[in-house]
Structure 1
Amino acid sequence: MSSISFSHSLRRLWALERFGPSLRFFIALTGSMTWCWYSGQMELLTPLFLGVIASALAESDDSWQGRLFSLCVTLICFFFTAMAVELLHPYPWLFISALCAATFCLIMLGALGERYATVAYATLILAIYTMIGLEQSRDALAPIWQQPMYLVIGAAIYGVLSVAWYGLFSQQPLQHSLARLFREQCHYLKAKSALFEPIRNADIESQRLALANQNSRVVAALNDTKAIILHRVGGRSNSKINRYLKLYFLAQDIHERASSSHYPYQKLSEAFFHSDVLFRCLRLLRQQGDGCKALAKAIELRQPFDYGGGHSAALEDLQAAIAYLKQQNNPEWRDLLRSLRALANNLSTLDHLLRDAANPDALALTQDNTIFDRDPKTFKEAFERISQHFSIHSLLFRHALRLSIAVAVCYGVMQLMHVSQGYWILLTTLFVCRPNYGATRNRLVERIAGTILGLAASWVLFELFPELWVQSLIAVAAGVVYFATRTSHYKISTAFITLMVLFCFNQVGDGYNLFLPRLTDTLIGSAIAGLAVFFILPDWQGRRLNVVLAQTLRNNGRYLKQIMQEYTQGKTDDMAYRVARRDAHNADAALSSTLTNMLKEPGHFRRQTDIGFRFLLLSHTLLSYISALGAHREKLAHAPTYLVLNQEAQLLADSLEQIAQKLIKREPIDVQSDAEQQQSYRLRDLPEEEDDTLRLLQTQLLLISQQLGSIRTLAAHVLSNSEAKQVADLQ
């Protein structure tokens, strides 16, 4: 029994997402520490540890072949960067000019994709690590290549472990990503179920806002999973990961159906307040959310997925409740009952999708199972991608320029103040300065708090454990905790990296002498980062809110057009359709993220937050109505009135595009449109069809058209408030 329990514990430990990288990091640090102890060269511990950290920061998901190529490129970049620092360090003006130019160029490489941005950022960090090593080194006669070589050796130690790990356990990152995706789907379904609870005076707006924010997390998980699949298959399916590719496509279908809305929930609640039909919808959605959670656990633990029983009974109860309502022959419920039947059909299909997840190998891939890869494939494409960002309007360009100036200021402060261990100022600014004010403010607070916490813990541990061999073990343990928490708990990770650095330096010197410099440099570097993001080409979210809103409307319109092509030609789920669907959800997530960042900005710059959140509710509702059309796709080209409905859908998409263009160009937007009002009348007065799918198409288009008036009103307010703010700024 104990062996079974131990095996289960190991399986759960293996399933932890940070376990693999943390284990590799632990082995690399332990190996470096052991070699330094046995060779009696503890002065080499710092460059080896810093090299390991830089290599771990440069790591991005890939196949083992791609990871090997990336490692070779990374080591070459690291070596030449470290050598350049060594050579230019005695010449301050030349050194800072080269450092600023390198900072700008490396940040701009982020335009090529996340993998390039990761390596470029780690290379920049390694340059600062080289400076720290130079300042700490006591051997003035050491050859110029010695520190770069040991930095690269440390990086190679972790890199080799990473390549070997990706070769042996190549599917583990994909399993973790899929599990995270289905957990987010679970949270979305649970949040969606709250809308079906018929409560008087329910705060529907806050519920929908929470749903929109959760949708952005689902979209982020979908994008992460797609990137991992692309790194392994290069855009086409592979026999080894077909199972996970099918689960990814299944998750896309679940997301489309889960995000669908078939009628305003408040009207459904008012009409069926005394019926149990909405409670049955709520119960079924929560059960399906639990199914997604169980699927995530099964993927992580590599165990069979059992959807479980009880779902069929819940679905039958829902259909029976709808049938009972239909027997009441209430003419006021006619349209509502059609929407309820469509909702029940959608939940039934969602139930089947989750059952299919129990045996994904039996699923057939669609005819077009390619995945759109946005990364450049040639040097020409890479150059064009980067050149597109050479504009003051590019957020990446502004961040690169801002960070370059901040680096120059840091170096100037170091030279003027002659502070001890002054390169920590540069390192702090590099870590704290983010592309926008909100993220920088969070990093700044957490960096300072984490540093103080780390210094306090270091002082206590220095007193308790004066033995150097014990301190070396503490340094390794602190490094592992830092690495495991660096993306999720930045304050904690800062505390532990502070502890690790002090204990490493204490192996060859007096760690107590570094307490004050570490705190002082952190405060100075954080202050420079905060001032830079506030004064140097600040990216206030409100100033580009009109563009973000426009992208949301534009992508919703394109998604609607792609859906109508599916109704015309039949359901295909081809790349064009999937790209349009993903772009619409990405735009919705980008709006949610923009508004969240606006809340963290100074009061003067977040005056449009209320309007922005009201727009988010409208745009997410609009996307939900469009998604419902996508969930019920079938060929209707020869059905009666379809031609008329298709024309109305194209007009709706054109209206969304027109509002988007006016938002981007900051042109006046009419609050009312007679053409759109007439269109709503036409959709409402179309002859009723016996076919439920046609009637659903008509109902959803009517719901979409009814959103346009409110969208126009809010869009006009955004532009008028933006103009008023610009006038106030000029005054």
Structure 2
Amino acid sequence: MSREFPTGLTPPDWLVRNLQPQQAPVNRAAAVRASIAMALPLAVGLAAGRPAYGALASMGAMSGVISDTADAYRLRILHIAIPQLFGAVGVALGALVFGHGWVAVATLTGIALVSGMISSIGAVASASGLVLLLNSVIGAGLPLPGAWWLAPVLMSGGGLLVLLLALLFWPLRSGVPERAAVADSYRAVADLLAACGSEVPGEYDEARRAVTRSLNESYDVILARRTHQHGRSPDLTRLLAQLNAVTPVVEAAPAAHQSGHRLPPPIARKVRRLAVAVESGRTDPTPIDLPTPIDEAGRAVEHALRHAAEVVATPDVDLLGPAPAPPGLGPSAVPVTVAAVPTTALHVRAARAARGAALSAAAWRYGLRLALCIGLAQVLVSTIPVPRSYWVALTITFVLKPDFGSVFSRALLRALGTLAGLVLAAAVLTQVPRGWWDVPTMMLLAPLIPVLTPRGYGYQTAAITPVMLLLSDILNHLGTALLLPRLVDSLAGCAIALVAGYLLWPESWHTRVGDRLADAVADTARYVESAFGANTAPAVRARMRRRLYRDLSDIRTEFQRALTEPPPVGRHATAWWPLVVAVERIVDATTAARVRVKHGAAPPSPTEVSQVARQLGELSAGLREAKTLVAVRSDLTGPADSVLEPVRQEVAAARAIASPH
């Protein structure tokens, strides 16, 4: 029998969302790497009679384990090696100001400003900024053994050991992560086709969002590898062609879904067979045998799927997309073209991102927030004697990372995770004698980091806390005397982050969903114009559509983050949700209309197109000016049999959405 909470004791939704663990598979390879990389330095240090040296190397390995999140081998080099370089600089600077009072306060505050600003550049830069500040705090808060250069070498060496272990099987598995990513995209597309026409609420929408996530990940993996590939790689060219080839199938799916009837099962089965061929790296010469399509949507799916099968079956492929549609589709039918995403501009974009971070007001604001909190923490521990109080700044560094999630949520989970981790640390510090017993203990504790990290930040904190305390005890020999100060330090760090890094900044009280949604609506208006414009290249339309879906996926992520905030932020974010869904449906309807035109339907008149685009532009402008959603009457009219009729209906529905606030 289910047990219900009394009405007054029901926990609020934002608290339930924060505490609920996320579902994720266990990465056994990462767990094994963590166990070896963090226990081996301890063993070497003990064997050499320098356990403190081994503890420093294990600390560096821990940052490498935290950064070891990429599947592709070249991405692992970026995600692990580059942060280690920043970490070496950080620990060197921190060690130089250790025990220098206000000089250490000023230095760490300046490093926090730099760390916060570079975090806005991208994922690797964010991880680098995090490790830079973390190691600076450790260097300034712990008495490190040896010369000033020894700690940077040992900690970087520990992180690079994680990278070395991750790359051991590269010669045997080269290209495997990339092929797996593309194959997963094909499987996601198969699920999407199977959901077309489904009457189950949300089944198609969830499948389409899964396709967006999978395509985002696949393009990131493939293009990141191409950026570092010298010369032209046939394997990567083939994988990119296979990834591009599935995009027209994705574009045809909205039209099939709008038709209202399910696609024949052989269509989804064929896409799954193509996924197996892509993942194995072999061709699939089996002739494609599909039912005869009965409408424009069916012809679009069949045509796109035949091209995808041809690309997978052909050893040498180009990146131009499918050939022209078969005869009989009408004079308006044009080839479905998907251009390869260029990679020559990636370095230029990275340079622009770096310059943008230096000039961006948002980057400066975040840098100042982080610098203020770190400065307050260092002033606090400099004026109040707290043993080994570097933990306050460490807590702030982890909590005050908006690109990692809600600051409020992370502060709450940090406090709870630390409390759970201290319980485990107490057992370790009281029951395990220091010395060689630390090695098997670390072999058991270290794998918890990669295993629990995907579950949520609180679980990650619970895994990191006993590991960090064990390594700290090897360096300063305080034993269980560390436990209570660490809890007090963590709570103090959370309090500083919440007050000086969250409550004092009005932008923290408002969700950014509305502004980002306004940008997406404006981009949707341009997409509608380009979808039926004679002067817009098919490749440009495809990139616009992909960018739109990626942006909408980011908005969903921002929405989920806002839901973990306490009222009124979470309540205000909830009001935007219907419009997020409405904009996704507008993009789907526009894509479906374009596909129908390609495969025989009559194109809309320029007047119809401009009318829809104008209404979307008005909606975007209204979202920027209004603090809450307001219902707006739609004046869209047009022929009922036009391909734009579904688009008009979705735009009218979006404009009719009103907020209760």
Please give the range of the TM-score, normalised by the shorter of the 2 chains: 0.7 to 0.9
User: What secondary structure does 1:377 align onto?
Assistant: helix
Distance 2:37 2:614 in 1: 57
Q: 1:231 to 1:168 in 2, by over 3 A?
A: farther
Residues 349-401 of structure 1 show CA distances to partners (whole Å, capped at 9, x for unaligned) of 56546755863646542174243677452897355422441x2xx3x443322
1:231 deviation in Å? 1.9
Residues 181-237 of structure 1 show CA distances to partners (whole Å, capped at 9, x for unaligned) of 4555466556x45x623xxxx8x5xx2xx7556644543332232222222213996
The reply on whether 1:220 has 2:213 as its aligned counterpart is yes
Return the TM-score normalized by structure 1: 0.72
Instruction: Write the letter of the residue equivalent to 2:646.
Output: L
Higher relative contact order (CA 8 A, sep 6+): 2
1:527 maps to which of 487, 491, 495: 495
Q: What aligned pairs does 1:504-519 form with structure 2 within 5 A after superposition?
A: 504-507=471-474, 509-519=477-487
1:291 deviation in Å? 6.6
Asked whether the 8 Å contact 1:29–1:52 carries over to 2, the reply is yes
Q: Which moved more, 1:458-467 or 1:611-620?
A: 458-467
The reply on whether 1:590 has 2:554 as its aligned counterpart is yes
The reply on whether 1:232 has 2:235 as its aligned counterpart is no
Identity of aligned residues (%): 17
The reply on whether 1:123 has 2:132 as its aligned counterpart is yes
Instruction: Write the letter of the residue equivalent to 2:111.
Output: A
Residues 498-549 of structure 1 show CA distances to partners (whole Å, capped at 9, x for unaligned) of 2323333455635322222222222222232233443132435755443222
Instruction: Write the letter of the residue equivalent to 1:653.
Output: A
Distance 1:428 1:440 in 2: 12
Asked whether the 8 Å contact 1:24–1:161 carries over to 2, the reply is yes
Asked whether the 8 Å contact 2:60–2:155 carries over to 1, the reply is yes
The reply on whether 1:562 has 2:513 as its aligned counterpart is no
1:581 deviation in Å? 0.8
The reply on whether 1:113 has 2:122 as its aligned counterpart is yes
Residues 417-473 of structure 1 show CA distances to partners (whole Å, capped at 9, x for unaligned) of 322231112111211223279623333343333333333234445566547433321
Distance 2:564 2:104 in 1: 36
What residue number does 2:591 align with?
Answer: 627
Distance 1:132 1:183 in 2: 50
Q: What aligned pairs does 1:82-101 form with structure 2 within 5 A after superposition?
A: 82-101=91-110
Distance 2:108 2:303 in 1: 57
Distance 1:611 1:619 in 2: 14
What residue number does 1:144 align with?
Answer: 148
Instruction: Write the letter of the residue equivalent to 2:138.
Output: Y
Residues 273-326 of structure 1 show CA distances to partners (whole Å, capped at 9, x for unaligned) of xxxxx4x44x73xx76677677667766x47698999x968x56xx6xx7xxxx
2:616 maps to which of 640, 656, 661: 656
2:352 maps to which of 376, 381, 386: 381
Q: What aligned pairs does 1:58-73 form with structure 2 within 5 A after superposition?
A: none
Instruction: Write the letter of the residue equivalent to 2:447.
Output: V
Instruction: Write the letter of the residue equivalent to 1:177.
Output: A
Asked whether the 8 Å contact 1:29–1:49 carries over to 2, the reply is yes
The reply on whether 1:258 has 2:226 as its aligned counterpart is no
Asked whether the 8 Å contact 1:561–1:649 carries over to 2, the reply is yes
Q: 1:507 to 1:229 in 2, by over 3 A?
A: same
User: What secondary structure does 1:486 align onto?
Assistant: helix
What residue number does 2:333 align with?
Answer: none
Asked whether the 8 Å contact 1:261–1:624 carries over to 2, the reply is no
Asked whether the 8 Å contact 1:540–1:601 carries over to 2, the reply is no
Distance 1:25 1:632 in 2: 52
The reply on whether 1:472 has 2:439 as its aligned counterpart is yes
The reply on whether 1:413 has 2:374 as its aligned counterpart is no
Instruction: Write the letter of the residue equivalent to 1:655.
Output: Q
Distance 1:625 1:44 in 2: 61
Distance 1:453 1:307 in 2: 56
User: What secondary structure does 2:632 align onto?
Assistant: coil
Q: 1:170 to 1:93 in 2, by over 3 A?
A: farther
1:248 maps to which of 234, 243, 247: 243
1:175 deviation in Å? 3.6
Instruction: Write the letter of the residue equivalent to 2:55.
Output: T
The reply on whether 1:710 has 2:643 as its aligned counterpart is no
Q: 1:404 to 1:360 in 2, by over 3 A?
A: farther
More helix by share: 1
1:624 deviation in Å? 1.4
Distance 1:423 1:604 in 2: 34
What residue number does 1:12 align with?
Answer: none
Instruction: Write the letter of the residue equivalent to 2:479.
Output: G
Distance 1:537 1:76 in 2: 32
Asked whether the 8 Å contact 2:256–2:301 carries over to 1, the reply is no
User: What secondary structure does 2:234 align onto?
Assistant: coil
Q: Which moved more, 1:71-80 or 1:219-228?
A: 71-80
User: What secondary structure does 2:532 align onto?
Assistant: helix
Distance 2:412 2:272 in 1: 34
Q: What aligned pairs does 1:565-580 form with structure 2 within 5 A after superposition?
A: 565=533, 568=534, 573-574=538-539, 576-580=540-544
Q: 1:603 to 1:506 in 2, by over 3 A?
A: closer
Structure 1: which 5+ residue stretches go unaligned? 1-15, 269-277, 323-340, 685-694, 722-731
Distance 2:414 2:276 in 1: 34
Q: 1:528 to 1:483 in 2, by over 3 A?
A: same
Instruction: Write the letter of the residue equivalent to 2:227.
Output: G
What residue number does 1:52 align with?
Answer: 61
Asked whether the 8 Å contact 1:175–1:299 carries over to 2, the reply is yes
Asked whether the 8 Å contact 2:255–2:596 carries over to 1, the reply is no
Residues 633-676 of structure 1 show CA distances to partners (whole Å, capped at 9, x for unaligned) of 6388xx9x74x624422332233223323433559989335xx4
Distance 1:111 1:436 in 2: 8
Distance 1:288 1:33 in 2: 55
- Paired residues, number: 616
Q: What aligned pairs does 1:339-354 form with structure 2 within 5 A after superposition?
A: 341-349=295-303, 352=306
User: What secondary structure does 1:531 align onto?
Assistant: helix
Asked whether the 8 Å contact 1:598–1:609 carries over to 2, the reply is yes
Asked whether the 8 Å contact 1:485–1:493 carries over to 2, the reply is yes
Q: Which moved more, 1:221-230 or 1:63-72?
A: 63-72
Structure 2: which 5+ residue stretches go unaligned? 1-24, 322-338
What residue number does 2:182 align with?
Answer: 178
The reply on whether 1:481 has 2:435 as its aligned counterpart is no
Return the TM-score normalized by structure 2: 0.79
Distance 1:438 1:115 in 2: 16
2:198 maps to which of 196, 199, 214: 196
Q: 1:152 to 1:387 in 2, by over 3 A?
A: closer
Distance 1:382 1:591 in 2: 20
Distance 1:417 1:186 in 2: 61
Q: 1:671 to 1:170 in 2, by over 3 A?
A: same
Residues 592-630 of structure 1 show CA distances to partners (whole Å, capped at 9, x for unaligned) of 233323322332234444541221232122111012134
Distance 2:109 2:530 in 1: 46
